[in-house]
Structure 1
């Protein structure tokens, strides 16, 4: 899994440079934030000069998903020792930061006609979601829950769709977790 962060980091670094930011933004962001999808979102927010409050709220909303990752961790990973977890995290962080820095340094070599680098993270999550759907065992699929939350929020709260969709999705995930006795394996 750690090695998968290298090409994703390369795409992130190249996107930073293509967005008009200096190359060092990629390495600094990867080293200090280490937020993956939030870092991709941050590129657009920085280039648009978004207010810090908006950036902070977005960071919280995007990274709140990690709570659900913890709820769905497997028994195998729960048996890992603290040093093993720290080493795995260290190497994953280094893969991400190294890939992002390399992508930023070599991103200038990518012609402007190449598009789709901002789709790299979406593609990764799509593949992970499809894999999770294949492994389902009778519970409500997370992508279906997300889609239903978005549609309900659009119909009921069109002016506050994003906040309502996040609230409905969170409520749905918690309800599913309680209904399945915490046995759901894919968030």
Structure 2
């Protein structure tokens, strides 16, 4: 079998060094992932769902925002088609991650298959911009495995804590909304994202009026259509970017 770029990159690099590097890469990410995993585990138990659903979601889906959203959808017996459409819409961005993620540095077979499966936002941010000469299959896969371990462990801890409490914590289900609010506030720091936020507000408002029984999926569809329309409008009116200050950071 001909050697691949991943095989070449692994030559002369001890596996132990790659493992150590991958673990170090995941430490900063783990600080943020673990508490969210705890929140997931607590939400699962407080929603009246079995505790094992937390690690099951973390292994079967491994997508933080989607897992948190899945808890509320499962607890409210959301139709399967709505769940599938919502998960697809929220995770569709991962299709584009693979275009610039250094998968060529990961060995073929199960390492590459796992790397594709575990291609979360944090893994992309960690390895997509790293110099190629510093990458190896062992380092990337170890980093992704450790990131998932933080998430699974957090979910187990959260489920155990929630199960031991005499009464549920009131308002804890707001953790999901707080997560998205923080992400939105981060986006507002750049003025070029304000039109997108305004379009999102418009999409949600219309969806609540038009489809009050399923506003989430309808809102996502409307928002996607508005973003596409905005993209083509900006291509036809390039001067509007400079006059509106759309490309200047606040």
TM-score by length of 1: 0.73
For the 8 Å contact 2:208–2:215, the answer to whether it is kept is yes
- Tell whether 2:162 aligns with 1:107: yes
Q: Deviations over 1:162-187 (max 9, x none)?
A: 44422221133345556389x97x9x
Which stretch shows the higher mean deviation, 2-11 or 37-46? 37-46
Task: Note the residue ranges of structure 1 that are not aligned, 5 or more in a row.
Answer: none
SS at match of 1:112: coil
Matched, 1:15 2:43: yes
Q: CA deviation at 1:40?
A: 2.2
* Match of residue 169 from structure 1: 223
Q: 1:147 aligns with which of 196, 201, 214?
A: 201
Shift of 1:43: 2.3
Q: Identify which range, 122-131 or 163-172, moves more after superposition.
A: 163-172
Q: In structure 2, how many angstroms separate the alpha carbons of the residues matched to 1:177 and 1:87?
A: 38
Q: List per-residue Cα deviations over 1:4-40 (Å, max 9, x = no partner).
A: 1111111110121122222211111111111222222
State the superposition RMSD in angstroms.
Answer: 3.7
Higher normalized contact order (CA 8 Å, seq sep 6+, divided by chain length): 1
**3-state SS of 1:140 partner:** helix
How has the CA–CA distance of structure 1 residues 77 and 164 changed in structure 2, closer, same or farther, with 3 Å as cutoff?
same
Q: Give the alignment partner of residue 45 of structure 1, picking from 73, 93, 101.
A: 73
Pick from 187, 209, 215: which aligns with 1:132?
A: 187
Cα deviation for residue 108 of structure 1 reads: 1.2
Q: Could you report, residue by residue, the CA deviation over 1:52-84 in whole angstroms, capped at 9, with x for unpaired residues? A: 33432332233335468889x999964335645
In 2, are the aligned partners of 1:38 and 1:59 still within 8 Å (CA)? yes
Give the whole-Å Cα distance in 2 for the aligned partners of 1:29 and 1:107: 17
Tell me if the contact between 1:18 and 1:112 (Cα under 8 Å) persists in the aligned partners.
Answer: no
Match of 2:89 among 61, 65, 72: 61
Match of 1:79 among 126, 129, 134: 129
Larger radius of gyration: 2
Mapped to 2, the partners of 1:68 and 1:175 lie a distance apart of: 20
Distance in 2 (CA, whole Å) between partners of 1:115 and 1:65 is: 33
In 2, distance between residues paired with 1:62 and 1:76?
21
The equivalent of 1:122 in structure 2 is: 177
Indicate conservation of the 8 Å contact 2:187/2:193, yes or no. no
Q: In structure 2, list runs of 5 or more residues that go unmatched.
A: 1-28, 100-120, 239-245
2:188 and 2:194 in contact (8 A); partners too: no
**8 Å Cα contact 1:12-1:117 kept in structure 2:** no
Deviation at 1:104, TM superposition (A): 0.8
